[in-house]
Structure 1
Amino acid sequence: MSKKFKRSYRFALRTAFYISVFLSGLMALILYIDFSSVLWVLIFFAILTYLFSFLIIQYRVERFIYRRIKKVYDNVTLLDSATLTPNQITTDMSSLTREVKKFAENKKLEIETLKVREAYRKEFLGNVSHELKTPLFTVQGYILTLLDGAHKDKAIRKKYLARANKGVERLIYIVKDMDMITRLEVGDLHLNLETFDVVELIQASFDLLEMKAARKNITLTFDMDYIEPVYVRADRDRIQQVLTNLIVNSIKYGKHGGTTEISIENLVRNKIIVRVTDNGEGIAKEHIPRLFERFFRVDKSGSRKEGGSGLGLSIVKHILEAHGEKIFVESVFEVGSEFSFTLEKQEKVSEVVAES
């Protein structure tokens, strides 16, 4: 009980003690000195008592609040006690209210961030599990069928082994893409920067994907005839991967008899912008902010029939960010989409010759 009493009234007792000592000393001084005027004594006593009481109460209250706020700072890792000074503390508790409010807002923001990350983690793990599970079960099914006796038939054995091999190739494809994204995120992927003609690179990508586009009767074309080369400074192989992924994506979601068109425009003095435009399905507005997330698919069922790892756009984004460039997307649902990205332009042909 005494412990609780001391904890509750220690501040008031000490403050009353300091005032009592001062008043007793002041009274002793007045009695010791012979004053001729009683009124003057009363005025002098009242003024000194008022001033001292104000100072001692103000000082004691400020130190009392400051120590306890500092204890809150020291006990909560989100608050830095080094930023707190005694001058911030006032008897109206405004500093305490402000700091507690700031702490509550920071804590709420942290909780919301953790909720978003947890939701993303669950979705990401679910997507990874689904992407790996399908080819794994496919391979396992064919192997089990062969073990059950189908291996005795040469034709069935060859067919099932070929299908199992396709499943393994898909697994390797997914793992390689995930490994590349991880290396890009940690900055562990080396870029071999060189100067090259981006028009020639786009044409090479068209030639590579011509048969894939032909199956859906999609035309791969430039917006105009580029007679002069357009030189850029980048990693040729990685930019070809960017172009390939964007063109494949436009074919995958393009309509039969549609068009995938690429244009090259000057953006600023040392930058160009490459636009990949199609007249396919388009993307709903609510899906655009998540397009570059790993394994995110607008149409989960339809896109899986088309194949792919679900990592193509994420890889595109990370490759361009590794170059210090940006990618943009504009789309209208059921009208078409346009993906565009910037590259560093190389102005003079002489610079290319000198580097070669």
Structure 2
Amino acid sequence: MNLSARWIAFLLALFITVLTVVFLNFVPDTKAEMLVVTGVICFLATYFTTYYTVDVLIFQEVDQIYKSVKKLKIKDFNIKKKPLLNSQNPLKLLNTEISDYVTEKQKEIEELKRMETFRREFLANVSHELKTPIFAAQGFVHTLIDGAIDDPEVAIRFLNKAAKSLDGLDALVRDLVVLSQVETGELKMQFEVLDLVRITEDIFEQLEDKATKRDTKLKIKPAKIQECLVVADPQRIYQVLMNFIENAIKYGKDHGKVTVVFEEQKKHYTIAVEDDGPGIPQEHINRIFERFYRVDKSRSRETGGTGLGLAIVKHILSAHNSSVSVTSKPGKGTRFSFSLLKAD
């Protein structure tokens, strides 16, 4: 039963009417007609008096609360006065609205706290990543100014080191710009039909020297595949595959192999990049797509990279309505895979 003003008035009127009639029934010379008339008058008077009193008082309180809510510029509430004879319990409705609002705002507060923590970590990471190449280049330049420039051999070596530090700084800034553009939607994807097999072969050529230094074999599977036509942004998908394959070479084992696998499905192609390296510990897998997160910080410094590659990849694939799946077993290698829509 919904204890609205109508029900409260009805029950109270019924109780008072029964009590009054029972009491009058014990009065001598009381006729039945008098009991009926008294009962009807008592019921109607009590019902309407109680109904209007409770209803008005309830809505007055609701109005006061609603005015307070409006002062806070909260638009989440949708409480309207219904016709007096058809209204539900307004306090119950208001309580429901407030409970829903508090729950929603609590979620927003938790998200804001999480984002604030993320922002502080990101700023600390950016500061550190920028400081490292700047200080390195600064040290080499000041050493040259202090007299090392007079020795041609030393000067060339220090200039090369300073240039390498500045190249790393340039790569970091460019990755930050790309990541910012992807996240804000400024970087629009240019979708067209492209052949992933050809793109993969181009990347193999680009990375041939790095693979040769580690005696890493680069393979495409199935070996007889001629083409893999998908709908995607050529430049960004090239960036995705380049990142996966280059990481597989850098973090795989010496004398190992890197395989790009194409699996045809009904409406999509699944593309996977596999290596047979040491793998990624399970506790790191959920965090490798965070900005600047490094599984092995010391080795990451040695092999280069800005720490933003996988974060950019994640956003690029998200813009293609795809996501990255990662499976890894310690000592047996890692597999990164994603899907793209097949070309008609």
TM-score by length of 2: 0.80
Encode CA deviations 1:83-138: one digit per residue, 9 max, x unaligned. Answer: 112357627x4334333322322232122111100111011111111111110000
Q: Are 1:265 and 1:274, in contact at CA under 8 Å, matched by a contact in 2?
A: yes
Match of 2:296 in 1: 299
Identify the match of residue 254 of structure 2 among 248, 256, 273. Answer: 256
Q: Does 1:319 align with 2:316?
A: yes
> Which is further off, 124-133 or 288-297?
288-297
Q: Which residue number corresponds to residue 238 of structure 1?
A: 236
62, 75, 84: which one aligns with 1:66: 62
Retained in 2: the 8 A contact 1:65–1:89?
no
Alignment partner of 1:142 out of 137, 140, 144? 140
* 2:182 is the alignment partner of 1:187: no
Q: Does the 8 A contact of 1:280 with 1:336 survive in 2?
A: yes
Tell me the distance in 2 between the aligned counterparts of 1:51 and 1:196: 78
Q: How far apart are residue 158 of structure 1 and its match? A: 1.6
**Structure 1 residues 207-216 or 322-331, which shifts more?**
322-331
How far 1:210 moved relative to its partner? 2.0
Q: Which position in structure 2 is the counterpart of 1:84?
A: 79
Distance change (3 Å), C-alpha of 1:161 and 1:228: closer
> Aligned letter for 2:323?
K
Q: CA deviation at 1:298?
A: 2.1
**Secondary structure of 2:285's partner?**
helix
Give the Cα–Cα distance (whole angstroms) in 1 for the partners of residues 196 and 37 of structure 2: 98
Pick which of 212-221 and 113-122 moved more.
Answer: 212-221
Distance 1:149 1:264 in 2: 57
Question: Structure 1 residues 86, 176: CA separation in 2 closer, same or farther (over 3 Å shift)?
Answer: same
The alignment status of 1:166 with 2:161, answered yes or no, reads: no
| Match in the other structure for 1:119 | 117
Question: Pairwise CA RMSD of aligned residues?
Answer: 2.5
Q: Which contiguous aligned blocks of 4+ residues in structure 1 show a shift greater than 6 angstroms?
A: none
Q: What is residue 4 of structure 2 aligned with on the other side?
A: none
Cα deviation for residue 314 of structure 1 reads 1.7
1:344 and 2:341 correspond: yes
Change in Cα spacing, 1:300 to 1:84, as seen in structure 2 (3 Å) is farther
Letter in 2 for 1:65: E
The match for 1:103 among 85, 101, 104 is 101
Q: Which residues in structure 2 correspond to 1:39-58 (within 5 Å)?
A: 42-43=38-39, 45-58=41-54
The answer on whether the counterparts of 1:181 and 1:314 sit within 8 Å (CA) in structure 2 is yes
Distance 1:293 1:62, change over 3 A: same
The Cα of 1:68 is off from its aligned counterpart by 2.6
1:276/1:78 Cα in 2 relative to 1: closer, same or farther (>3 Å)? farther
Q: Which AA in structure 2 matches 1:277? A: E
- How high is the sequence identity, in percent, across the aligned residues? 38
Matched-pair contact (CA < 8 Å) for 1:281–1:333: yes
Alpha-carbon contact 1:202-1:243 (below 8 Å) kept: yes
Q: 1:103 to 1:148 in 2, by over 3 A?
A: same
Rounded to whole Å, the distance in 1 between the matches of 2:293 and 2:230 is 31
Per-residue deviation, 1:58:
2.2
Equivalenced residue count is 309
Q: Is the 8 A contact 2:252 2:276 kept in 1?
A: yes
Counterparts of 1:190 and 1:67, CA distance in 2 = 48
Q: 1:256 and 1:207 mapped to 2: Cα distance?
A: 19
What stretches of structure 2 of length at least 5 have no aligned partner? Answer: 1-30
From the superposition, tell whether residues 158 and 228 of structure 1 become closer, same or farther in structure 2 (CA, over 3 Å).
closer
Aligned equivalents of 2:43 and 2:297: distance in 1?
Answer: 83
